[in-house]
Chains A and B, each alone.
Chain A
Amino acid sequence: MSWMSFDTALPIIFMALMGISMLVYVVSDGYDLGVGMLMHRATDAEKDVMIASIGPFWDANETWLVLGVGILLIAFPRAHGVVLGELYLPVALMLIGLTLRGVAFDFRVKAKDTHKQTWDRLFFAGSTLAAVSQGWMLGRYVSGFGSGWNYPLFAAAIAAALPMAYVLMGATWLIMKTEGELQRRAVQWARIAWAPMVVGMVLISMATPWVSDVVRERWFALPEIIALMAIPLMTGVALLAVRGLLNSRAVLGPVCWLPFVLLIVVFVLGFLGLAYSIYPYVVIGQMTIWQAASAPEALKVILIGVCISVPAIAGYTVFSYRVFRGKTGELKYA
């Protein structure tokens, strides 16, 4: 490969890295935020177990967001300004939500018992605010920040659907990580969240081509449509399998991990569909990744660090999940 073509390939590499970071963030912090949004339905003892189940992970999970936005900032500086400028208010609200959620984690165990309830409420409120803001941001981003009555409606629909998807993730995480009464209740929560999430996904899949010309041209052209049908079909199968598992008693036993894993598959498929819709734009209809990218020299310097760090990060993440594998036991205060 000549240097010239490597320079052209660099923005693609960083776009892929950014996309993967965002995907990992949505999946991993998705279950954290979902657990946070389920907090108000749990008893005090269950709250402790729920928090304990995500305690060792949330911090690292949230860092994927920093990496994703960091890549947007350092590799696509022109797009960073446009995207975050458009999303000024929801970004601020999401950050406030994430801040509340993040600090409530640490404060609730260290605070006086009388204050614990306040932190639990803030944990719930922060998780919900962050999830709703992210949904709104996703909706605005996917529709290219268009103006007109239908665009805010579309963003509002996603702002309602994404938290439901997170709640489902959170509930299936709890099915995997807990046992006994809490696990049975988590199955109930998952059943409730399943339908709104599916309706949301269907609506979004139908509405995206409607609000975005680029997406419409991409998806409804022959012969691509035949190959592309695999994505919605597989998503549908995975979602139905989740429902089937939730309705059976087997989910309380050895296959308790399966709904969670199937949902990850659903998120990955959704991500692939989205990536296909957007590429090669970084701001849909306005700016391609090459127009937005930093100079190749700068990207190469960053790439060296990425090549060292990302494999190590992946390794440590696996190690960390291994160390904290298995069911989260009861948390008893001495």
Chain B
Amino acid sequence: MDALLLARMQFGANITFHILFPTISIGMGWVLLFFRLRWLKTRDVDAASAQGWLDAYRFWTKVFALSFALGVVSGITMSFQFGTNWPGYMERVGNIAGPLLGYEVLTAFFLEAGFLGIMLFGHGKVSERVHLMATFFVAFGTTLSAFWILALNSWMQTPTGYEIVDGVYHVKSWAEVIFNPSFPYRFTHMVLASALTVAFLLTGLAAWQVLRGVGQRAAPKVMRVGLTLAALAIPVQIMVGDAHGLNTLEHQPAKIAAMEGVWETERAAPLLLFAVPDAAQRRNHFEIKVPKLASLILTHDPEGEIKGLNSFGDAHPPPLPLFFAFRVMVGMGVLMLGVSWFGWWRLRRAQWQPAALPRVLLWLFAAMTFAGWLATVAGWFVTEIGRQPFIVYGLIRTADVASKTATSGMIGVTLALYIALYLALIVAYVTVLKYMAEKPDEVLALDAAEAARTPLGAATSPVLPAGSIT
């Protein structure tokens, strides 16, 4: 295989592995803040309820810590791979990408240097107000981190606000670089994707606990929060996704043509429910289509025109992966809508007691624990593969910035190592989450050990009542 494709696969493998964990931590930070505020609100009125919120907070803090650690280690890899895989990229757009990446690093740093350590290990060592503030800043910081990185990613899709001097890109207007045409859509879409991923993770693990008959204090609350969040976020996400699609049609029509498998420019284009796009023969096999629907969805007009792949020469992305990734994402979205609304309605009818739900529904929730990951990764495949063959859309080709020194043998060997490592870590992550869900009391008992670890912690007034540990 050629070095360019291997380099792309390596970067793609790493970025795919990386995005799994920020997707969880962005939304989870705010959910943790919510759990904590609920505990503060209920602890003087309803001890049993407060205990449930506290259990939820402490259990999910551990999930957050694990996800954050995986995000950090895979993020470090990325900061190196820019240089090892795409040395020409920073040479040419460094003046734009540099500051944006710099702010992302500084923001993430900001968090890790102070707040995260205090949030995770500071129980009983700092005042409650400081601890609450630390939790807020961790949530805020993960979101701010996403802001910077999505500004850069969106700029690569829809570049504006730059000028080129001797082949090197310089900033003309930072406002135009950051708030480039696709940024508001992509940022909102990603934050909602994170909310949905977290919502289904909460619901799924809580359902698993109910099925196993453990964690009964927290599971009903967690499932209610998860399903409510999902039911609220999914319709908004579908609307934002539609708006994002229209934005893409305006700025990156080749991406849309590949997503929809449209080869020739046509009016009243049918929506392909299924097809196998064939880039070699430049046609589709096995089409199942609904007349005029693609034009209706994309242009909001049944007779609207959609440009075909053939009108872009070779400057279009490969249709096969886009076509399927897009359908996986949309399919997951529709499934999420059905499951969250039906599930929320059933849970409400069961007076928010998940134990009263039919077991098949609990199994469905558990099966969808990582549904958000699937939809998010499929969505990123659409947007990132859809930018090819460019690294900065319409301006710089990926092939022109690839490393000239790294041989395909070297990239191939390291790619195999990375993939083996990432697969093992995903298996370990899912296994540990399942184990933690099944033994919540043991997990919560770790806090007791942590509190007992430093004599200092025992001496100052504990934030969390010692009696809360069972």
Which residues does A use to contact B, with CB under 8 Å?
52, 55-57, 59-60, 62-63, 65-67, 69-75, 77-78, 80-86, 88-89, 91-92, 95-96, 98-100, 102-103, 105-107, 109-112, 294-295, 297-298, 301-302, 305-306, 309, 312-313, 315-317, 319-320, 323-334
Say yes or no: A74-B65 contact (C-beta < 8 A), given A52-B453, A80-B87, A320-B113: no
- Does B311 sit at the interface, judged by CB under 8 A? no
21 contacts between A and B (CB under 8 A): A63-B108, A63-B112, A66-B105, A73-B98, A74-B94, A74-B97, A85-B83, A85-B406, A92-B417, A99-B73, A100-B421, A298-B98, A305-B106, A306-B102, A309-B110, A313-B110, A323-B126, A329-B452, A330-B452, A333-B449, A334-B446
- Contact segment of B166-174, B190-198, B223-231, B299-307: B166-174
Determine if A313 and B103 form an interchain contact, defined as CB atoms under 8 angstroms apart: no
Q: Write the nearest CB–CB distance from B292 to chain A, whole angstroms.
A: 48
Query: 9 nearest interchain CB pairs?
Result: A316-B114, A81-B87, A74-B98, A77-B94, A84-B83, A77-B90, A298-B95, A334-B445, A102-B73
**1/0 contact trace for B348-374 toward A, CB 8 Å?**
000000000000000000000000000
Set B62, B102, B445, B455: member contacting A74, Cβ < 8 A: B102
Q: Is B72 within 8 A of A62, CB to CB?
A: yes
| Min CB gap A89→B, angstroms | 6
Instruction: Tell whether, in the assembled complex, residue A327 and residue B432 are in contact, meaning their CB atoms are under 8 Å apart.
Output: no
| Of B109, B405, B456, most A-chain CB atoms within 10 Å | B109
Apart from A78-B91, A88-B403, A96-B421: 19 A-B pairs, beta carbons within 8 A: A55-B121, A59-B112, A60-B112, A67-B105, A74-B99, A74-B102, A80-B82, A95-B80, A96-B418, A99-B73, A102-B72, A103-B69, A295-B170, A297-B170, A309-B107, A316-B115, A320-B118, A330-B453, A334-B445
Of all chain B residues, the one with the shortest Cβ separation from A325 is B456
Q: Are B75 and A66 in contact (CB under 8 A)?
A: yes
Q: Report the separation of the CA atoms of residues A320 and B114 in the bound assembly, to the nearest whole angstrom.
A: 6
Inter-chain contacts of B452 with A (CB < 8 A):
329-332
Closest Cβ–Cβ distance, residue A245 to chain B (whole Å): 25
C-alpha gap A332/B65 in the complex (Å): 20
B240 beta carbon closer than 8 Å to chain A: no
- How far, in angstroms, from A309 to B91 measured CA to CA in the complex? 25
* Cβ contacts under 8 Å, A100 to chain B: 421
Q: Does B316 belong to the interface (CB within 8 Å)?
A: no
Residues on the B chain within 8 Å of A96, using CB: 417-418, 421
**B132 within 8 Å of A by Cβ?**
no
Task: Say how far A154's CB is from chain B's closest CB, in angstroms.
Answer: 21
Is B454 positioned at the interface, with any CB of A under 8 Å from its CB?
A: yes
- Contact yes or no, A56 B121, CB < 8 A: yes
**B74 within 8 Å of A by Cβ?**
yes
Quote the shortest CB–CB distance from A145 to chain B (angstroms).
11
* B88 contacts the other chain (CB 8 A): yes
- A305:B99 contact, CB within 8 angstroms: yes
Q: Is B461 an interface residue (CB 8 A)?
A: no
Across the interface, which residues of B come within 8 angstroms of A105, CB to CB? 69
Q: Determine how close the nearest CB of chain A comes to the CB of B106; give it in whole angstroms.
A: 4
Q: Give the residues in chain A near B66, CB-CB below 8 Å.
A: 106-107, 110
User: Distance (Å) between the CB of A247 and the closest chain B CB?
Assistant: 29
Chain B residues 119 to 160 lying within 8 A of chain A, measured CB to CB, are: 120-122, 125-126
Interface footprint category on B: 35 or more
In the complex, the answer to whether B103 meets A59 with C-beta atoms within 8 Å is no
In the complex the two chains form, is B76's CB within 8 Å of A110's CB? no
Residues of A within 8 Å of B423, CB to CB, are none
Complex Cα distance, B90 from A294, in Å, reads 9
In the complex where A66-B105, A320-B118, A323-B125 touch, is A328 in contact with B76 (Cβ < 8 A)? no
Task: Tell me whether chain A's interface is mostly helix, strand or loop, or mixed.
Answer: helix
Kindly list chain B residues whose C-beta atoms are within 8 Å of the C-beta of A315: 114
How distant is the Cα of A92 from the Cα of B109 in the complex, in angstroms? 22
Q: Which of B84, B125, B450 contacts A84 (CB 8 A)?
A: B84
**Inter-chain contact B403/A85, CB cutoff 8 Å:** yes
Contact A85 B405 (CB under 8 A): yes
CB of B70 closer than 8 Å to a CB of A: yes
Instruction: Report the nearest B residue to A309, measured CB to CB.
Output: B106
List, in ascending order, chain A residues with CB within 8 A of B112's CB. Answer: 59-60, 63
**Given the complex, which residues of A lie within 8 Å of B417, measured CB to CB?**
92, 96
- Is there a chain A Cβ closer than 8 Å to B273's Cβ? no
Which of A89, A95, A301, A325 has its CB near the most chain B CB atoms (within 10 A)? Answer: A95
Indicate if the CB atoms of B117 and A103 lie closer than 8 Å: no
Residues of A within 8 A of B107 (CB): 309
Q: Are B69 and A83 in contact (CB under 8 A)?
A: no
B432 touches A111 (CB 8 A): yes
CB < 8 Å neighbour of A302 from B70, B102, B443, B454: B102
B462 to chain A, nearest CB (A): 14
Query: How distant is the Cα of A72 from the Cα of B102 in the complex, in angstroms?
Result: 10
Q: Which of A75, A86, A312, A328 contacts B453 (CB 8 A)?
A: A328
For the complex, give the distance between the alpha carbons of A317 and B117 in Å. Answer: 10
Tell me whether B414 is interfacial, beta carbon within 8 Å.
yes
Is B345 engaged at the interface, CB distance under 8 Å to the other chain? no
Taking the complex as formed, is B428 at the interface, i.e. its CB lies under 8 A from any CB of chain A?
A: yes
